[in-house]
Structure 1
Amino acid sequence: MGRMPKRPASSTSASCPCGLPASYAECCGRFHRGEAKPPTAELLMRSRYSAFAVQDEAYLLSSWHPSTRPPAVGFEPGMRWEGLTIVGTTGGSAFDKQGTVEFRARYTQGGRDGEMHEVSRFVRDGGAWSYLNGTVD
């Protein structure tokens, strides 16, 4: 739980874990480094997925709404995030105050494949998007 984040090298050729057609450095890496804030709830969700993939606990906690933020993020030993699919969004644009993002995240752990399905809720707090909570099924 208290491990330091493992961040990939800021290579311009390393693809971003979130699945968008850009390098990690140009995509979610800029959010993780604090160079920019995600302008939409979907981009925040993608950047949080990437933060789980690279085990960036500091970013996950900073992008979590203070009212629901845990004291630490636990990373499952041996879990590897393999892919993200956005199922749908509501609200969450640069002009909204709240939004939802439904997604499916594929992973492997202990040689077994799995999938997490969640509808995440986001709110704009102080001009920046933050993760409020999610419903997993």
Structure 2
Amino acid sequence: MANCYCGSSQPYATCCEPYIKGVKKAPTAEVLMRSRYSAYVVLAADYLWNTTAPSERKKHSKSAILDWAKSNQWLKLEVLRTTDTIVEFKAYYLDSNLRAQVHHEVSTFVNQQGKWYYVDGEY
């Protein structure tokens, strides 16, 4: 069985899939960010939308999220730094023209009523 898309040494079925399917809630900002990366790989736009802070959803649409996920070939995730509410990472992918790209982001997360949400990111 292949390792999870998020870069852990665990199988997807026991790593990010339970979060994406709603079986478990991400316990930390880093786990949420890793599961969101995996959600881009498996085209789980509902999960990406639902784990975006409600106050931030007006800046995004499910269809735009899905279009961006589909237009890229996701290669690997590298987590650079984490705190309780911030995760810095690099996502490596091939764009629609098959050019290698690196999305470097410092993401902010918030825990509301026991659930982690993505707030925004600085690139």
TM-score normalized by the length of structure 1: 0.81
How many residue pairs were aligned? 117
* Higher helix fraction (1 or 2): 2
Corresponding residue of 1:9: none
Instruction: Decide which of 52, 61, 66 is 1:71's aligned counterpart.
Output: 61
Instruction: Decide which of 99, 114, 117 is 1:130's aligned counterpart.
Output: 117
Counterpart check, 1:89 vs 2:82: yes
Moved over 4 A (4+): none
Corresponding residue of 2:33: 45
CA distance in 2, matches of 1:71, 1:117: 21
CA distance in 2, matches of 1:78, 1:53: 11
- Structure 1 segments unaligned to the other structure (5+ residues): 1-12, 92-98
Asked if 1 retains the 8 angstrom alpha-carbon contact of 2:78 and 2:91, the reply is yes
Question: Over aligned residues, Cα RMSD in angstroms?
Answer: 1.2
TM-score normalized by the length of structure 2: 0.90
- Structure 2 segments unaligned to the other structure (5+ residues): none
